[in-house]
Amino acid sequence: MKINKYEDISQVDKEAKKDYIDRHSAFVHCESNAAKGDKFKVKVKVGDAYAHPDDFDHYIAYVQLWDGETFLTEAHFTPGVLGNAPGNVEVDFHIVPTKKMKLTSMAYCTKHGLWQSDEVVVEVA
């Protein structure tokens, strides 16, 4: 399966391409430092400036959180979870870190495939 990656939309000329890239891309939001052994919140949001459809045949089916090549957790969604209106899927994951993390997220669109976020490094002390 091809993995699509986020492209800086400020460098893209066509509005339709900006919309396509942004609304499918996962974004990891968290602090850059965590305490070893303490619960740590990581928010993943799909899309930023543009909303994704929430139709029966076109929606975000799942969001995953990874630490490098280690799968951490995932959340599944059904069509209509956003009220059948375009929106941004958001999920809060709570993990307990033990070492430095290189977090990425994957989001799967039922029509446009798998999308990977940029990596976010979290120092753990």
List per-residue pLDDT tens for the chain, 125 residues long: 789 888 777 888 888 888 888 999 999 999 999 999 999 999 999 999 899 999 999 999 999 999 999 999 999 999 998 899 999 999 999 999 999 999 999 999 999 999 999 999 999 99
- Does this model's pTM top 0.75? My answer is yes
Domain range annotation of the chain: 3-124
3-state secondary structure the chain: CCEEECCCHHHCCCHHHHHHHHHHCEEEECCCEECCCCCEEEEEEECCCCCECCECCECEEEEEEEECCEEEEEEECCCCCCCCCCECCEEEEEECCCCCEEEEEEEEECCCEEEECCCEEEEEC
The CATH code of the domain at 3-124 is 2.60.40.730
